[in-house]
Amino acid sequence: VDCDEHKSLCSKYGVSGYPTIQWFPKGSLEPKKYEGPRTVDSLAEFVNTEGGTNVKIATAPSNVVVLTSENFNEVVLDETKDVLVEFYAPWCGHCKSLAPTYEKVVTAFKLEEDVVIANLDADKYKDLAEKYDVSGFPTLKFFPKGNKAGEEYGGGRDLDDFVAFINEKSGTSRDVKGQLTSQAGIVESLDVLVKEFVAANDEEKKSMFTRMEEEVEKLKGSASRHGKIYLKAAKNYLEKGSDYAKNEIQRLQRILDKSISPAKADELTLKKNILSTYAA
């Protein structure tokens, strides 16, 4: 009821603040004021109790990795993963406010196999909360590959803050939508060599290509994978000429402008970013 428009009706039923929730049993105009929490579950429980119904509220699907005492060590202490953990309590208002943002963090990094976004009900698993010095909710801790003791996350609670933190700590290059940034795939040591490669004459280019191969051999992990893209681009540059990079970037952009899978978009964006160094 819009009490601004129907003042007399609201006054009749003793409404003095907003929102006011009242329950009118079947066949009665004598209301019962709802005094419980303003949560979906609490309201549903009240209606079920008063109305004799048994309605269950569907829980929105979550992509956050749910931790328990059984899987905590397996997930969080995995030396191949960077893991962000939210220690929360079901009754915590700040935790509920954070939940939608935390889901977006998961979405932003869903294609990063080495990044895990997880949470733990610290009210239920008090022993784990005590072990990691959790005294308030929500508490966020980051467990990087090289430090499984964990470090407290003290940054902001906006999506931008979380994305910037994980990019810095994990070496990823994602934006808030989960798309790769223009820096994704870039290897600084190879960028230096590419600039020399582009400026060199034809004979010098062959020598520079060998130097690039040697540099790629030193790389590890994702940098090694990106290094192979650098080498393929250099080889095509030698075979197809200086316009190759510019033309290929335009071709890749036309594909990226179409509706393609996120994984394919990642693959093409990495190539486009690396080719941009050759076209500079």
Active-site entry in 92, 150, 155, 171: 92
**Domain CATH number, residue 97:** 3.40.30.10
Rounded to a whole number of angstroms, the distance between the first and last alpha carbons of the chain is 63
* Given 6, 36, 94, 156, the catalytic residue: 94
The residue range of the domain holding 209 is: 188-279
Predicted pLDDT of residue 128: 98
> What is the dihedral angle through the alpha carbons of 37, 43, 45, 49, rounded to the nearest 10 degrees?
110
Exposed (0-12), middle (13-18) or buried (19+): which is 102, by Cβ within 10 Å? buried
| Of the candidates 197, 88, 180, the residue with the CA atom closest to the CA atom of residue 141 | 88
3 is known as an active-site residue: no
Are residue 39 and residue 86 in the same domain, yes or no?
no
**Active-site entry in 95, 178, 226, 227:** 95
- Number of domain units in the chain: 3
94 catalytic? Reply is yes
Residues 117 and 88 in one domain: yes
Supply the pTM of this predicted model: 0.76
Q: 107 and 84 in one domain?
A: yes
Q: Is residue 116 domain-shared with residue 211, that is, in the same domain?
A: no
Task: Tell me what pLDDT residue 126 has.
Answer: 97
Indicate if 6 belongs to the active site.
no
Active-site residue flag, 95:
yes
Q: Give, for all 280 residues of the chain, the pLDDT tens digit.
A: 999 999 999 999 999 999 999 999 999 999 999 999 888 888 999 999 999 999 988 777 789 999 999 999 999 999 999 999 999 999 999 999 999 999 999 999 999 999 999 999 999 999 999 999 999 999 999 999 989 999 999 999 999 999 999 999 999 999 999 999 999 999 999 999 999 999 999 999 999 999 999 999 999 988 999 999 999 999 999 999 999 999 999 999 999 999 999 999 999 999 999 999 999 8
Going 207 to 208 to 211 to 216, the CA torsion angle's sign is: negative
Q: Is residue 44 in a domain?
A: yes
Please name the residues in contact with 66: beta carbons below 8 A apart, sequence gap of 6 or more: 118, 119
Which residue out of 36, 51, 93, 136 is catalytically annotated? 93
